[in-house]
Amino acid sequence: MSSKLPLIQPEWPAPANVRAACTTRMGGVSEPPWDSLNLGGHVDDVPQHVGVNRKRLADRLALDPGSIGWMSQVHGTGVTELPAEAVPVADASVTDRPGEVCAILTADCLPVLFCNRDGTRVAAAHAGWRGLCDGVLEAVVSRFGASGSDVMAWLGPAIGPRHFEVGPEVREAFVVKNGRASDAFSTDGARRPGHFMADIYRLARQRLEAAGVHEIYGGTLCTVADPGRFYSYRRDGRTGRMASLIWLDG
**pLDDT tens, position by position, 70-117:** 999 999 999 999 999 899 999 999 999 999 999 999 999 999 999 999
Alpha-carbon gap, residue 149 to 213, rounded angstroms: 5
Instruction: Find the farthest-apart pair of alpha carbons in the chain and give their distance in angstroms, rounded.
Output: 53
Q: What is the mean pLDDT of the chain?
A: 96
In terms of Cα–Cα distance, which of 184, 43, 164, 17 is closest to 25? Answer: 43
* Res 10 pLDDT > 70: yes
Alpha-carbon gap, residue 248 to 47, rounded angstroms: 29
Across the range 16-21, mean pLDDT stands at: 98
Cβ neighbours for 142, distance < 8 A, ≥ 6 positions apart: 211
Asked if CATH classification 3.60.140.10 holds for the domain at 8-158+216-248, the reply, yes or no, is: yes
**How big is the CA angle at 43 (ends 104 and 220), to the nearest 5 degrees?**
45
